[in-house]
């Protein structure tokens, strides 16, 4: 474990005894760490163990074995650890609906140990930052879902936590609100906040996360930097767009050596990097307009890793 990390978990396990059945592991041997200013996407299908892990990280559920440290502090024995933690656990259901935006901010700020004066000043600043100043005295039940979600994130940020747990932050939001909240989350990194993000909206995770862990059946089956993961799963398929039609003879030469398809002046070529150069020498002198490697996306990687029979720790 590193004291520099905002979050460290080691070998977290949560098991439940079911009479007459083998012990059930909801979470099995999960270790992760999050550095300051990092967005860590924690993904998995329903029932994979994400929520159980999140609850153990936040101190709401004691692990059967293993350790959690938030900024070096144990959230189960040292309540100062909770002062480093902000949470938006289930969308907008973290707010008192009969209270106003300011009242919610003030209440949860004081509950996190802030003084009244500090909480009032922080409330003012966050309402302004999240464009909610005009809604300061509006009851939560009167806000749009997007505004409620922004307020929930503001509430979680009241006490200036170092680690923010965001559970499905864009769920149920319309496109505009989703884009706004996504941008807001990205901006938080500038403040040095680290984020543990769980979501089923994989495009959001791909757009935001620096690192990603994919969980299945209680275990992390893949953990990597987002860019590395996308590169690792990028297929060796190149799309070569030509300016003119290629002569059929050269196409046949290519077909003899590669898996290739050709139509509308566009070649789809399956080969490695060396093969690409050889293919280009065959194509020459036809004019090449563009060469593009097939891009993988998080969704296809996620499905590949979490479908039944996928190897653990791939």
Partner 1 sequence: MLSLFMIEFDRVLRLQLRYPLEFVSGLLILTLLFYGLLVGAQHMTGVDNFGDNLDGIIIGYGTWIIVVAGLSQIPGDIAGEAQRGTLESVFLAKYRMDSIFLARSIAGSLQNLVLTFAVLLLLLWLTERSVSFPPAAMLAVITTILASISLGFLAGGLALKFKQVGRALVLVQYPLLFLMITPFETMQAEILNLSLLLPVVPSAITLRELTVAGKDLGDSHIIAALLNAAVYLGVGMFFFNRYVRSVKANGLLGGH
**Binding residues for partner 1, per CB under 8 A?**
14, 16, 52, 55, 58-62, 76, 79, 82-83, 85, 87, 89-90, 93-99, 103, 106-108, 110-113, 115-116, 155
Alpha carbon separation from 26 to 14, 181, 222 (Å, rounded): 6, 31, 17
Distance of closest approach, residue 156 Cβ to partner 1, in angstroms:
9
Q: From CA 9, how far away is CA 65, in angstroms rounded? A: 11
Question: Is-contact 260 254, C-beta < 8 A?
Answer: yes
Q: For the chain, how far is it from start to end, CA to CA, in angstroms?
A: 23
Buried b (16+ CB within 10 A) or exposed e, 249-286: eebeebeeebebebeeeebebebeeeebeebeeebeeb
Tokens of 187: 């901006």
Among candidate residues 56, 39, 58, the one with its CA nearest the CA of residue 212:
39
Q: Are strands 163-167 and 194-198 parallel, antiparallel or unpaired?
A: parallel
Question: Is-contact 13 65, C-beta < 8 A?
Answer: yes
Task: Please identify, using beta-carbon distances, which residue of 95 and 254 lies nearer to partner 1.
Answer: 95
Per DSSP, the three-state class of 182 is helix
Distance of closest approach, residue 27 Cβ to partner 1, in angstroms:
11
Task: Please identify, using beta-carbon distances, which residue of 97 and 277 lies nearer to partner 1.
Answer: 97
Task: Please identify, using beta-carbon distances, which residue of 46 and 281 lies nearer to partner 1.
Answer: 46
User: Taking the CA atoms of the chain, what radius of gyration do you get in angstroms?
Assistant: 25
Distance of closest approach, residue 229 Cβ to partner 1, in angstroms:
30
Among candidate residues 34, 98, 29, the one with its CA nearest the CA of residue 313:
29
Task: Please identify, using beta-carbon distances, which residue of 26 and 279 lies nearer to partner 1.
Answer: 26
Task: Please identify, using beta-carbon distances, which residue of 87 and 216 lies nearer to partner 1.
Answer: 87
Task: Please identify, using beta-carbon distances, which residue of 157 and 202 lies nearer to partner 1.
Answer: 157
Task: Please identify, using beta-carbon distances, which residue of 85 and 208 lies nearer to partner 1.
Answer: 85
- Whether the CA torsion 87, 93, 99, 100 is positive or negative: it is positive
Task: Please identify, using beta-carbon distances, which residue of 58 and 306 lies nearer to partner 1.
Answer: 58
Distance of closest approach, residue 289 Cβ to partner 1, in angstroms:
54
Distance of closest approach, residue 112 Cβ to partner 1, in angstroms:
5
Distance of closest approach, residue 279 Cβ to partner 1, in angstroms:
56
Q: From CA 150, how far away is CA 40, in angstroms rounded? A: 20
Instruction: Match 């996407």 to its residue by tokens.
Output: 41
Distance of closest approach, residue 75 Cβ to partner 1, in angstroms:
9
In sequence order, the β-bridge partners of residue 16 are: 24
Distance of closest approach, residue 158 Cβ to partner 1, in angstroms:
11
């Amino acid at each position: 474990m590193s004291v520099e990390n905002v979050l460290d978990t080691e070998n977290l396990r949560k098991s439940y005894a079911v009479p007459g059945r083998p012990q059930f592991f909801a979470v099995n041997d999960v270790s992760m760490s999050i550095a300051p200013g990092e967005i860590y996407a924690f993904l998995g299908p329903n029932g994979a163990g994400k929520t159980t892990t999140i609850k153990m990280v936040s101190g709401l559920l004691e692990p059967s074995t293993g350790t959690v440290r938030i900024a070096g502090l144990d959230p189960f024995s040292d309540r100062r650890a909770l002062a480093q933690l902000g949470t938006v656990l289930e969308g907008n259901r973290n707010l008192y609906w009969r209270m106003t935006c300011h009242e919610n901010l003030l209440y949860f700020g004081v509950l996190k140990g802030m003084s009244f004066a500090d909480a009032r000043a922080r409330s003012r600043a966050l309402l302004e930052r999240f464009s909610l100043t005009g809604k300061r005295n509006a009851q939560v039940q009167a806000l749009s879902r997007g505004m409620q979600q922004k307020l929930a994130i503001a509430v979680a940020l009241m006490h200036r936590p170092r680690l923010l747990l965001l559970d499905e932050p864009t769920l149920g939001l319309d496109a505009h609100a989703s884009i706004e909240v996504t941008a807001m989350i990205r901006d938080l990194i500038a403040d040095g906040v680290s984020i543990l993000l769980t979501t089923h909206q994989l495009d959001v995770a791909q757009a935001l996360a620096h690192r990603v862990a994919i969980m299945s059946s209680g275990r992390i089956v893949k953990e990597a930097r987002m860019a590395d993961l996308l590169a690792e799963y990028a297929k060796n398929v190149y799309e070569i767009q030509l300016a003119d039609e290629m002569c059929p003879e050269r196409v046949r030469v290519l077909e003899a050596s590669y898996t290739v398809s050709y139509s509308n002046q566009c070649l789809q070529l399956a080969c490695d990097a060396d093969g690409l150069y050889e293919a280009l020498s065959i194509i020459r002198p036809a004019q090449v307009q563009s060469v593009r490697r097939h891009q993988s996306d998080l969704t296809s990687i996620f499905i590949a890793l979490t479908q039944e029979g996928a190897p653990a720790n791939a």
